Amino acid sequence: MAMRSGTTSSNACARAIAQHRRPHPCNRASASSLYPHAMFTSSSSPSGGEISSSVAGRAAFELRRKIEENKGQVSSRWRTSMATQLSHAGLSKNYGDEEKSKKFNSPLSPPIELATTFERPPSGEYGVDGLIYSRSCNPTRRLLEDAVGRLEMNFKESDASYEYDQDTIAPTFAFSSGMAAVASLILACPSPVKLLIPKDVYHGVPTQLYNSFSEHGVSHESVDMTNLNELYQEIEDNVRSDGTLVVWVETPSNPLCQVTDIQAVCNVVEKLRRHKDHGRILTVVDSTWAPPCITLPLSLSTDVVLHSGTKYLGGHSDVLLGIASCSPTTENGRWMAQRLRAVQTSVGAVASPLECWLTLRGLRTLHLRVERQCQSAMKLAEYLHGHQHVVKCHYPGLKSHPQYAVAKEQMSMFGGMVSFEVESETLAMAVVGAVHIIRRATSLGGTETLIEHRASIEPPERRTSPPGLLRLSVGLEDVEDLKHDLEVALEVASQIVHTATE
């Protein structure tokens, strides 16, 4: 029932205040101790006559704020769930800020701050907010960085492998693309730098290492990250007394959907950190395929987590952005946060304000999109797994997947990416040619389902994907339409290829 203005609403507010005057379980101070008596008596008190609706609203606001503040002190710390946090990502929030709360008509959706420079006050001092020049700081970028930094720390104390303060935000840095984030991270490492990268990894990572970093003394080696003995040996063989050894995890991997046990890898690294005289050993997880509502690598002792925000975080195939969050609880994470901040400012591969704003808007629906994408991916994987023209289906949610147990433990959902293999490259290309609803394009994480023949996009000299492998980024369409599209495409492709070879 809509509340009418005037006496009725005032009485309702007064009753609400009167209720709050009883000590709240989370609040040792009662309303009467929070407010001067005069506040209730001038326009009358909750136990007596009237107060104006604006006074009631203001009083309720202040009381609620006090309750929330006290909650932090007296009860076990409580934090909103991931879904709630995502739904409000980047929204302007006056709550708790005395000055701002007086401005009730501030915009809910944040403005896009395009200014590249910020005027100094006549005294010449810059404010404490660090707003000088937008390469070093931009308000819209900072909103996104804080929102992601908060999400990456949104785990229960019981899920963390260490003690942490629930109010902590992971220091986070937004870049102009996922690859700009990768490059900035490497630039932030003291040399000599060596990376141990997974055998199955987004091909852009080795391409960047070969094309842009190999001549600058950065070396790398491919390791099977799902084989912990091999990893232990590789670290032991490569660790040096100086420089940086980066253990690079990508899970699930692109394109084979291999799942790496993040905590187990961090344990192996920690063991070696303790037993050897060495330079830095840094753990980095590219969690692009498992956004924060699926996996939180910082809860599993990782030093740095990275995303191509171009994918799920943006979520609409219209943003190019990368983001890296550093653990505030590992020594390496704190160290990297300082270095990455310096590289972000000095190199300047920063995300633009518009891209940051679009990513913030994308975040607000991330959980719903990803939930639906994961449900549909599971159904499509089950369908493809048993299909007569499909040789192999790679999806962490299938019980036949080699790392199913790890995926179940580490991921809250199994992801929206499915890869499957048909018997030849020719057949794979024919399937891609025959889809009708599914779109033929690279990239992933958008609302539309995409199909891609992976091997043909990889540099010819370093093809690692099986020739018959097709990668699906599952979107938000009706899954029955997608299933039908694949069913017809597989049948048509098979007819074309097999008729031609008969």
The site for ligand PLP (CB under 6 A) is made up of 177-179, 202, 204, 250, 254, 286, 288, 308, 310, 320, 322
Length of the chain: 502
Quick one: 310 or 494, whose CB is closer to ligand PLP? 310
Nearer to ligand PLP, 185 or 320 (CB): 320
Q: Which pair of structure tokens corresponds to residue 71? A: 């909650």
Question: What is the closest distance, in whole angstroms, from the C-beta atom of residue 20 to ligand PLP in the complex?
Answer: 48
Paired tokens of 44: 């009358």
Residue among 261 and 286 whose Cβ is closer to ligand PLP: 286
CB 254 to ligand PLP: min, Å: 5
CA dist list (Å): 95 to 64, 83, 106: 10, 19, 12
Nearest distance in Å: CB 208, ligand PLP: 9
3-state secondary structure of 193: strand
Q: Residue 287 or residue 332: which is nearer to ligand PLP going by CB?
A: 287
- Our CB check for ligand PLP shows the closer of 291 and 467 to be 291
**Euclidean distance between CA atoms 243 and 279, whole angstroms:** 5
The distance of closest approach from Cβ of residue 308 to ligand PLP in the complex, given in angstroms and rounded to an integer, is 3
Closest CB to ligand PLP belongs to which residue? 178
The angle, 0 to 180 degrees and rounded to 10, between the axes of the packed helices 228-238 and 262-275 is: 40
Least distance in angstroms from the C-beta of 151 to ligand PLP: 18
CB 250, min distance to ligand PLP, A: 6
Is 13 or 320 the residue whose CB approaches ligand PLP more closely?
Answer: 320
Joined tokens for residue 475: 């979107």
Closer residue to ligand PLP (CB): 322 or 466 = 322
CB nearer to ligand PLP: give 180 or 380: 180
Give whichever of 53 and 260 is closer to ligand PLP, judged by the CB atom: 260
DSSP class of residue 118? -
CA-to-CA dists, residue 297 to 261, 264, 398, angstroms: 10, 12, 22
Cβ of 328: how many Cβ atoms within 10 Å? 18
| Beta-strand pair 322-326/280-286 | unpaired
Q: Could you write out the DSSP letters of every residue in 248-276? A: EEESS-TTT-----HHHHHHHHHHHHHHS
The whole-angstrom separation of Cα 245 and Cα 218 is 10
Nearer to ligand PLP, 291 or 328 (CB): 291
Q: At what angle do helices 331-347 and 178-187 cross, to 10 degrees?
A: 110
**Sign of the four-CA dihedral 438, 439, 442, 448:** negative
> Do residues 364 and 317 make contact, with C-beta atoms less than 8 angstroms apart?
no
Shortest gap between Cβ of 300 and ligand PLP (angstroms)?
18
DSSP single-letter state for residue 80 = -
- Is the torsion defined by CA of 36, 42, 46, 52 positive or negative? negative
In the complex, least distance from residue 83 CB atom to ligand PLP, rounded to whole angstroms: 24
DSSP 148-176: HHHHTT---GGG-SS---TT----EEEES
Q: Shortest Cβ distance from residue 323 to ligand PLP (Å)?
A: 10
473 forms beta bridges with 417, 450
